[in-house]
Structures are given as structure tokens and as C-alpha cells.
Structure 1
Amino acid sequence: MEYVCELKNISKRFHTINNETKAIEDLSFKVKKGEIVSIVGPSGSGKSTVLSLLAGLEEPSEGEVTVNTNSIGFMFQKDQLYEWRNIYKNCLIGLEIKHMDTEENKNKVLEMLKKYGLYNFRNHYPSQLSGGMRQRAALVRTLAIEPDLLLLDEPFSALDYQTRLSVGNEVGEILRKEKITTVLVTHDIPEAVSMSDRVIVFTERPAKIKSEYDINFKECQGERTPMKCRNTLEFGEYFRQIWRDLDVEKE
């Protein structure tokens, strides 16, 4: 089995002048190539810290982080689009930073804009687009560098509920069709269940793995989309199990 990344016996502590906060304690898991894994857990339980460790933005206090690629895409809660650049030029930023802005790659960006319904808005500025369209543009910008590992930190949380459902469904379809290895951090259990192959549930800080679920939808054979998964009996059962795990943490 080919793994794109692995956390092995990871602990992470943050220090201030007055005290020490342990965010993660003895955490281990692997992510297979092409797998979509969601992490859910209480607020402040170290979920985003895990993404920072995988991206190399943080170093573990103990343990080992292995990422078998140098091509990592990171998508944050806010779309981080530059208001003074049009949508097409926003989508080229990653390529420019990596000195990959060849004509071939620029044409690939144009094709993605067509594919994801943004081509006619390529010369518009972010302020002229809806929240969902902005988030799709941020995804195109991230995918333009062809990442082997995609890290998503609450990427839809700034959207209203209806837009969040629509964009989440679109992004879920894209990730599955492109077979992009993905780690998604979210507070939204339905989002995690409908989009993922596996859901990892964290405990309160310091984070450990409380439970783990392989997500299989027998009712969604063939073309699986987040929206189709939400309309199955299996979806409700996964939701109840994960909700119970998280609710126990509050007791």
C-alpha cells in the first residue's frame, strides 16, 4: 500500500512565557494515495496543527512526520484571493511562485476555469464574484500546481449554508474524479462523512484519536457525490456514531 503521508507518535507543545500547552499527544495515522480523509474534533483540539505539521509549517515536539512528496497544496478558511488581480491572474500565483508559469501550465489553468464554470469570469475581480465562485477560484489556484497532497482547513466555513452545500458537493466531485490525496479539517460532521473515505475523530486537547471510521456507501455505487451520499440511510448512521463520539467529550 502506497502512503502519501504518515504521522507517527506525534506530540506537539506550544510554549509561552508563562506556560506550556500540549496540543497533540502520541498521535499516529497514515493517508493512502488517492484517499480523502477528514479530521473532526472539538474546537482547539489540534486539528489545524496537524495540517501545519504535514505542510512543514510546524515541527513536532516528539515523533516523526513523513510526507512522500514535495508537491503540497494548502487551502485555508478564507480564499486569500488578491483583490487587485483578476481571477485568471489569481489562479496563476502558485505557478508564478514555483516558477512553473509556462504557457502549457497557463493553458491548463484556462481549461480548469472552463471545467469549473469560471472561464467567463476570468477577467473579473474577486469582489465581483459570489463566495462560492471565489472558493472555486481558490481551488483552481491550488490545483494548478498539481499537488500530490491537498490540505483543506475549514475551506467552506465562511460560506452560507446553501452555498456551502453546493460548493462542498462540487469540490468533493473534483477531488474524487482527480483522485487527489486530501486531508480535510472540518467541524461539520455531514461534510466530513459525505466527502470522505475515512473520518478520524479527535479527543479534546491534547488531541488523540478517539475513533476512526471507514466510510462506505453501498447505496452510492458508481458515481459517488457528496450530495448523493447525504441522501442515504448509511449517512445517517455514520452521523449518529460520530456525533455520539463528540458529544461524549462534552460530558
Structure 2
Amino acid sequence: MMEYVCELKNISKRFHTINNETKAIEDISFKVEKGEIVSIVGPSGCGKSTVLSILAGLEKPSGGEVVVNTSNIGFMFQKDQLYEWRSILKNCILGLEIQHKDTEENVNKVLKMLKKYGLYNFRNYYPRQLSGGMRQKAALARTLAIEPELLLLDEPFSALDYQTRLSVGNEVGEILRKEKISTILVTHDIPEAVSISDRVILLTERPAKIKKEYIMEFSMCEGERTPMKCRNTTEFGGYFREIWRDLDVSGK
């Protein structure tokens, strides 16, 4: 029997103003297995980030049911949200401080994580002294420091230049797969979704519904899988073309 870390059941969301009502999402249902990486793609402004906000408890759905089988959720935004007056290490243990879990043992775990991510020698630097890619890795380390069972990523690489985005995305994908962290990634970048994910969910234009789901299977051993290696397979181009075709909103 599959273990699910979260499930959305017929979720809808409407935003009300004085003059009208806007339907953001409508009748969305899906589950995420433990350790599964799922990407959500769709037209710009269709409500992808709203789905994450509902899962995180930042927004209440207008209808349907949300089941999250953990209270330990990590959320990483488009901007790194690092505090400029705190060192990289102090930024990374912020969540532990808030949860009163900043023990010597947990801080040492964070230091080991910084070594793994190539940030240890920069632990006493401040965010403004780091490149965009290094800042994003620091933001990821801060998010993973609380050992989340569900990780929500809202276009975390979108502010990076293309080369840095590929590099950091590859490293993050490797980390998530090795740590077996259940992850939902919202992205507008189809190649990113295909290379990182076990499954990709395509949403329609607003009000967003699920148009199609795709299982990402590549011709390599699971232990060898990285986003960069996935990009070099024959399957990668096929998945990209299929999703791009299904995403087409021109009506052609």
C-alpha cells in the first residue's frame, strides 16, 4: 500500500473583490507519495503557486479537502529570503532557532550540510557577499535544516541566469533524490520539470484544472539519475515535446 505525504481532493479557490469573483483553481485532485518529486507546470498566471499556498496552509481552499500527513513542511520561494544582517550559518539555522531546536547536534548537521553544498568556507559571510547560485543553495540548506517531510518549491531558480540555473537545479535535484524528500516544484520551465521530477502535472489556463499527468521514466539505473543526465537521454526530448504540445494555449 502506497504511503502518501499529502493529497488534494477536488480543491477549488475563488478570490473575492468588491465587484467580482475570480476563480483561480477548480476541482484539482492529486496525491504525492513519500519520496516522490512532482512538478506542476501550466500557463503563466494559471494558479500554480496558489496550489502550493493551499498545501502550506497559507491559503484556505474555497472547496474540497486538503490532507497533509505531516506538520513538518518546508517552503522555498522564488527569492532566497535570506536576511542580510545574518551570516550564512545564522540564516541556515534560523528555522531551528524558531522551533527551539538549535542544539549543538542540529547545528553540526547544518555545518555538515554546508560542507556538502560547498558553502562551509562561506558560513561566516553575509548574503550580499555570495553569488545568486550560492544564495539559493544557502536558502535550500536553511529549508532542509528543519528536516521537512514535505518540501514546496515555488520557482526557486527563476532569478538565476541560465548557466547557474542548470548547475544549481542539477545539484538540488540530486540532493532531493538522495535524501528522498517528498517535493512539489512549481515551475514554468518544462525542461527543468522533466529532468528533476518523477511526475509532471500540467494545469490548464485559469481557472486551473489538471489537463494531464506524465510519468518521467528514463533509461538509467535509479541510483544514477540526476537532472543533467536526464537531459542527455533520448526520452527527455520526447517528454518535452509532448508537454509543450499539450501546453499550447493558442488553439492551433
Alignment partners' CA distance in 2, 1:122 and 1:221: 33
Q: Does 1:147 align with 2:148?
A: yes
Alignment partners' CA distance in 2, 1:140 and 1:250: 40
Alignment partners' CA distance in 2, 1:136 and 1:69: 24
Structure-2 residue corresponding to 1:124: 125
After TM superposition, what 4+ stretches of structure 1 lie above 4 angstroms from structure 2?
A: none
Cα deviations by residue, 1:125-171 (Å, 9 ceiling, x for unpaired): 10110100000000000000000000000000000000000000000
Q: Does 1:69 align with 2:83?
A: no
Structure-2 residue corresponding to 1:216: 217
Q: For residues 30-109 of structure 1, what are the structure 2 equivalents within 5 Å?
A: 30-109=31-110
**Is this contact kept in 2: 1:72–1:151, CA < 8 A?**
yes
AA paired with 1:250?
Answer: S
Give the Å deviation of 1:115.
Answer: 0.9
SS in 2 for 1:60: coil
**Is this contact kept in 2: 1:220–1:228, CA < 8 A?**
no
AA paired with 2:213?
Answer: E
**Is this contact kept in 1: 2:84–2:126, CA < 8 A?**
yes
AA paired with 2:187?
Answer: T
SS in 2 for 1:152: strand
Number of aligned residue pairs: give it. 250
**Is this contact kept in 1: 2:170–2:227, CA < 8 A?**
yes
Identical-residue share of aligned pairs (%):
84
Instruction: Give me the CA root mean square deviation.
Output: 0.8
Q: Which consecutive unaligned segments of at least 5 residues does structure 2 have?
A: none
AA paired with 2:122?
Answer: F
Structure-1 residue corresponding to 2:24: 23
SS in 2 for 1:111: helix
Q: Which consecutive unaligned segments of at least 5 residues does structure 1 have?
A: none
Alignment partners' CA distance in 2, 1:141 and 1:221: 27
Alignment partners' CA distance in 2, 1:223 and 1:79: 29
Give the Å deviation of 1:173.
Answer: 0.2
SS in 2 for 1:169: helix
After TM superposition, the score normalised by the length of structure 1 is 0.98
Structure-2 residue corresponding to 1:225: 226
SS in 2 for 1:157: coil
Alignment partners' CA distance in 2, 1:246 and 1:97: 41
Give the Å deviation of 1:219.
Answer: 3.8
Give the Å deviation of 1:221.
Answer: 4.8
Cα deviations by residue, 1:188-217 (Å, 9 ceiling, x for unpaired): 000000000000000000010001001000
After TM superposition, the score normalised by the length of structure 2 is 0.98
Give the Å deviation of 1:223.
Answer: 1.1
Structure-1 residue corresponding to 2:200: 199
Give the Å deviation of 1:100.
Answer: 1.1
Alignment partners' CA distance in 2, 1:44 and 1:18: 21
**Is this contact kept in 1: 2:87–2:126, CA < 8 A?**
yes
Alignment partners' CA distance in 2, 1:174 and 1:25: 33
